[in-house]
Amino acid sequence: MGKILCVNSQGFNFVMKGDKMSENTNEIIENKKSLGSSTIFVMIVLALGVFMTAMDAYIFVPALPTIIADLQTSLNWATWTLTTYMLFMTAIMALAGKLSDVFGRKKLYIIGVTTFVIGSVTASLSWDIYSLIASMGLQGIGAGIVLPSALSSMNDSAPENQRGKTMGVLMAMSSIATIVGPNIGGFLIQNFGWRTVFYINIPLGIMAVLLAFKFKETYGNQDQHIDYIGSALLVGTIASMLLGIIGLESAPFTDVSVFPLIIAAAVLFIALIAYEKRVSEPILDIDVLKKPKILSLNFAILLSGIGTFMAFTYVPTFAQTVLNLNVQDSGTVLTPLSVAVCITAILGGVLLDKFGSKRMLLLGSPLLIAGLFGLTYFVTDSTGLAICLAVIGVGVGFTWSAFQLLMMSFMPKEEEATGVGILNTFKGVGSTVAPVIGACFLVSATSRMGNLSQSFSNLFLFGAVTSIIALVLVIIVIITDKVGPTKLGESEVVTGK
């Protein structure tokens, strides 16, 4: 009997241990990450789509003179290719964010990349400037869908303590695109023709789509109603406003090609606000947007974008006309800025995980301001220019991901992509308006035979002032966000409190 009891006792213990071993084995098998749920895999695939869409504008720029000759068009019409791309990308982002919340982030990412690839194919087959502009518009729609769906997908896939790093990698893709885009574009155009700059998107896009099918689908609130009327009013408002502002580069406000668009934008905006207040699930939730912290954050990224893109757009011209650099050197003068953004976007992501988005915004914003003041008062040679651009790049790298993650932390989990779409719409408006404002400073100098160097100083000073206002708005965000731990893990990791 003792033996039996002993056996029974040991057998019982063994069974218990065996059950635990079995449960642990099953748990290991069930929890073993598949390729599609790996954070690194998801980050790489999303980065591929973000890089592809970001590179398109930069790889295309060297093609403009060749396109003018080949399609027998003017410079004015040729520049509308890039304008149309930016316009459609900016206008579609808010709607794309909402759609990805409702129908799935993976689906929208795949749709966005596919749309972009189709636009690339049709652009490569363009027979005149009008078909090329239409194709670039289609590409812009695809790019506008990719960004908010990619950012929200990354936020869903990454653990809380890695969201800053992964978001930093995605943001760094835009900087890498500014470095490699013009070089790849110049090589392809010189050796194989301008249409080949679109061919490169096809294999990249197909690869991104096929790999994205391995993702686990994530959603926001699937029960949300899509506000199609509000979306149309929003797109119309943004498109009319940007077209009117772009028109100011070459015509006065009273010109028939400008003021009707500005008036249309104002009317559509009033109609949008009135309509959105009446619907239950608006594309722009006025009650949410009018909260001081959210409104301040969106205008902060808009104003910060104006300062950044003023430098990005006009520094090459400044290098040629004021510092007397040759064309080739002026074409690479932005490399310090791009490299700094690339490095600090990733480093900033690591620091963001440790210190939080608010602290990173407080760190990066003054650096952006300092760099712009440097351009205004202290640059007399290429070395000084490189130093100031590197400082600007560090400021941008530290703030880009912080803006995105802070906006997500302010939104309900099921509406994160909508929030990101709205935030990047504001950012897109800033980046589109910046060149137009800058042109006003330079046109006044050239038309009145003024001091061109002083005009550039005034331009960069304006960018610094807008960046100071952006910093003030960031401080307002921090002061007004007195709510306790947010939904993002109830911790300081992302919010930076």
Rounded distance between C-alpha atoms, residue 345 and residue 329, angstroms? 25
The residue count for the chain = 497
User: What is d(CA 63, CA 78) in angstroms, rounded to the nearest whole number?
Assistant: 10
Q: Residue 223's pLDDT band (boundaries 50, 70, 90)?
A: low
Longest CA pairwise span in the chain (Å): 112
Q: Above 60 in pLDDT, residue 158?
A: yes
Task: Give the position of tokens 């009446």.
Answer: 278
pLDDT tens digits along 303-351: 998 888 877 777 877 887 788 876 556 556 778 887 888 788 778 778 8
- Banded pLDDT at 285 (limits 50, 70, 90): confident
C-alpha closest to that of 174 among 376, 400, 455: 400
pTM: 0.71
pLDDT at 75: 65
Using DSSP's 3-state secondary structure scheme, residue 223 falls into coil
**pLDDT at residue number 138:** 93
Count of CB atoms situated within 10 Å of the CB of 28: 9
Inter-helix orientation angle 39-60/75-103, to 10°: 160
Tell me the per-residue pLDDT of 62-77, one tens digit each, with 9 for 90 and over: 677 778 888 887 766 7
What pLDDT is attached to residue 62?
66
Residue 448 predicted with pLDDT over 60: no
